[in-house]
A and B are shown apart, each in its own frame.
Chain A
Amino acid sequence: GENVEQHPSTLSVQEGDSAVIKCTYSDSASNYFPWYKQELGKGPQLIIDIRSNVGEKKDQRIAVTLNKTAKHFSLHITETQPEDSAVYFCAASISGANNLFFGTGTRLTVIP
């Protein structure tokens, strides 16, 4: 099956700085890459996703980039705010499949 690695496991940034989280995947057939945000005591929530037919996608302060050749994708958060503090998970799957393979998570702390 697919193996998704995620780095770093913890990340602290000053408010207003940018944060970058990186993931790699092993199965070249994977073509769907979502990112989930999990706040304390809650279930994960989808924040952005990208498919392999595009290299970058943006939604306000959040962007995701994909390099299919290198089999890695990244989450970029600009102008970080304290409410961005959470655990972020990347995932990978094959379009049309019924399961996601998740990374091990990154705990982001934004310091006011």
Chain B
Amino acid sequence: EPEVTQTPSHQVTQMGQEVILRCVPISNHLYFYWYRQILGQKVEFLVSFYNNEISEKSEIFDDQFSVERPDGSNFTLKIRSTKLEDSAMYFCASSESAGGQIGADTQYFGPGTRLTVL
């Protein structure tokens, strides 16, 4: 069964360093998302992405964050200068369709990357 994969599973970094979290969405999916979950808290939406453009982003997704689809298979989340409060699980998700009239769009999540900022 196709699945979303993410690397690395755990990333430890020093405050102020740049990190890139990588995701390989399901191969025929065109819509991509990042979510995060701080330990003990809710899963929070960060950003959605389609056709090399951000569609929607949350207040969390400030100028320190960026996303990119560098090639036909990867989808990345970059944090330019990490802060202690960026420590969280980061989940990538993908969906096949835009949903709406053609039916609901279902997002499938990866296993996550645990980011620890020291």
A and B held together in a complex? no
Query: Which residues of A are interface residues toward B (Cβ below 8 A)?
Result: none
Query: Which residues of B are interface residues toward A (Cβ below 8 A)?
Result: none
